[in-house]
Amino acid sequence: MPHQPQVTLIVVPRERFSLTEASLANLYQKTDYPFDLVYIDGNSPPSVRQFLEAQAQAKGFHYHRTPHYLSPNRARNLGLSLIDLTKTDYVVFVDNDVLFQPGWLEALVSCAEETGAWLVGPLCLEGDDFKTLHIVSGSLASRGQRLVEQRPFMHRPLAEVTPNFLERHRTQLLELHTILIRAEALQALGGFDETLISMGEETDLCLKVARQGKAIYAEPKAVMTYVPPFDPQPMDLPFFFVRWSRAWCEQSQAHFQSVWGVAQDSPNIQHYGTFVINHRHLAFRKWMGSTWFHRFQRYRLRFLAWWMNRRATQLALQWQTAGPHVPMKSLRVTEPTPVTTGH
C-alpha cells in the first residue's frame, strides 16, 4: 500500500474480564501495522482495572472506564465518541476476549483498500488452539416477515472447511468479535444501535450497510480467534449473567422486530433466544457435563443455574429502569457460593 491508512482500534467488553491481560498482550505482540488504541472498560474487577491503568500509562493508549457494566454497542459508541473520525481512515472494533495471528490488521486494511468495502471481517476461529472455525462469513435470506441467518461450517474443524471459502469474498453477514469499519461508514450510519443490548447487533449493522448499497467482505488472510468462556472465573459471573440475561435478550428481540419488521416466530428471532439460553449454560459446563458428578450435586447446580439466570434478569431490568449510568455494584450483584464437586 503506497499510502498507509490511519487505523484506530477500539476494544470493548464482550462477556467477561478474565482474558483481558492475555488478549491485550497478544494484540501488541501480533500486530505490526501501526494503530491508535482506545480501550473501553465497563466496571471490570479491581485487579483488571489496575492492570489496564498500568498498561495505558506504559503503552500510551486511551483508557476509559465506566463504573457500570456496558452493553457491547454502548461500549462501541462510547469509544467512537472519544475519537475524531475525520482523522482516521478505519476503525477496528475488537472484543476483549480474542487472540490474533501475525498480519491480521494489515490484511483487513488491504482488503478494504482494494475493494472499497465498508465492512471487512477476518477468519474468526474459536478456542486458543486456532483449530476450529467460528465464522468466516454468512448469508441473510428473507421472505415476508421471516429472516434466516446462515453461518456455514460454524464450530467445524478448520481442516474440514471448503478451501474456496477461505479466500477473500463478498458476503452479507459478519460477526463483531473483530471487524474493520470504514470511517465514512460510521459517519453515514451514525454508530451502533444501543437498544440492541444483547443480540442482533451484527445483523442490524450488516443490513444497514447493505441498505446503503455498500460492500461487505470477508478476508480470511486476517486470522483471529474468539476464546469462549468454557471455564469462566468468579470475577466473570456477574457481568456474564447480566450480559446474557433474558431481559437483555428480549429487549433486543423486540427492538430488532420493530426496526426490521420481522415476526416473533422469525428464525433469527427464535435463534437469538435459544443462543442466549445455551450460552448461559457455559458457566456450568465443566461441572454439569462430568460423568462422575453425583445426581444430587447435578440438581444443585441446575438450581443454581436457574437462580442465577433469574437474578441476572432482575438486575438487567433494574439496569434498564435506573439507566445505564447507575453503577452495577449499587444493584447488589453478588457472586454465587461455589458448589463442591468432589475434586
Same domain, 286 and 203: no
Among 181, 203, 226, identify where a domain stops.
226
Q: How confident is the model at residue 117 (pLDDT cuts 50, 70, 90)?
A: very high
> Quick one: pLDDT at residue 120?
99
pLDDT for 343 equals 32
Each residue's pLDDT tens digit, 85-111 = 999 999 999 999 999 999 999 999 999
Same domain flag for 135 and 206: yes
Say what the pLDDT of residue 305 is: 59
Residues 127 and 238 in one domain: no
Same-domain pairing of 196 and 267: no
Domain that holds residue 297: 234-331
pLDDT of residue 311: 62
Listed residues 226, 256, 274: the one ending a domain:
226
Residue 319 has pLDDT above 80, yes or no: no
Q: What is the pLDDT of residue 337?
A: 30
Residue 114 resides in a domain? yes
Top-confidence residue, 285 or 51: 51
Q: Mean pLDDT of all residues in the chain?
A: 88
Range scoring the smallest mean pLDDT among 156-160, 195-199, 278-282:
278-282
Confidence of residue 34 (pLDDT cuts 50, 70, 90): very high
Residue of higher predicted confidence among 119 and 317: 119
**pLDDT exceeds 50 at position 330:** no
Residue 161 has pLDDT above 70, yes or no: yes
> What is the percent of the chain with per-residue pLDDT over 70, rounded to a whole number?
82
- Say whether both 203 and 239 belong to one domain: no
pLDDT at 294 over 70: no
Supply the pLDDT for residue 282.
82
Q: Is the pLDDT of residue 53 over 60?
A: yes
Q: What is the pLDDT of residue 293?
A: 43
Q: Is residue 208 domain-shared with residue 249, that is, in the same domain?
A: no
State the pTM of this model. 0.86
pLDDT band at 232 (very low <50, low <70, confident <90, very high): confident
- In this predicted structure, the answer to whether residue 291 has a pLDDT above a threshold of 70 is no
Q: How confident is the model at residue 283 (pLDDT cuts 50, 70, 90)?
A: confident
Residue 340 located in a structural domain: no
Residue 334 has what pLDDT? 30
Same domain, 89 and 213: yes
How high is the pLDDT of residue 308?
61
Q: What gap in Å lies between CA 80 and CA 327, rounded to an integer?
A: 22
Q: Which residue among 204, 226, 248 closes a domain?
A: 226
